[in-house]
Amino acid sequence: MSVRVTTLPSGLRIVTQDMSHLESAAIGIWVGAGSRSERDEEHGLSHLLEHMAFKGTRTRSAADIAEEIEAVGGEVNAATSVETTSYYARVLKADVPLALDILSDILRNSVFDPEELEREQHVILQEIGAALDAPEDRVYDIFAESAFPGQPIGRNILGTAETVKATASPMLDSYLDRHYRGPAMVISAAGAVDHDRLVDLAANALVDLGAEAGPEPVAATYHGGEMREDRDLMETQIMLGFQGIPYGGSDFYTAQVLSSIIGGGMSSRLFQEVREKRGLCYSIYAFHWSFADTGVFGVHAATGPEDVNELMPVIVDELERATDSITDKEVKRARAQLRAGLLMTLESPAARAGQLARQLLLFGRIIPPDELVARIEAIEASHVRELAAKIFSGAPTLASVGPVNGMMDRERIASRFGARVHG
The set of catalytic residues is 50
Closest to 363 (Cα-Cα) out of 15, 8, 1: 15
Lateral strand order in the sheet of 236-243: 226-229, 397-401, 236-243, 295-303, 283-290
Alpha carbon 329 to its chain's center: 30
Q: How far apart are CA 188 and CA 55, in angstroms?
A: 23
- Beta-carbon contacts of 170 under 8 Å, excluding residues fewer than 6 positions away, are none
DSSP labels, 223-286:
---EEEE----SSEEEEEEEE---TTSTTHHHHHHHHHHHHSSTTSHHIIIIIIIT---SEEEE
Q: Residue 131 belongs to what H/E stretch?
A: helix 114-133
Amino acid at 380: E
H and E: helices and strands count for the chain: 16, 11
Residue among 107, 57, 110 nearest 210 (CA): 107
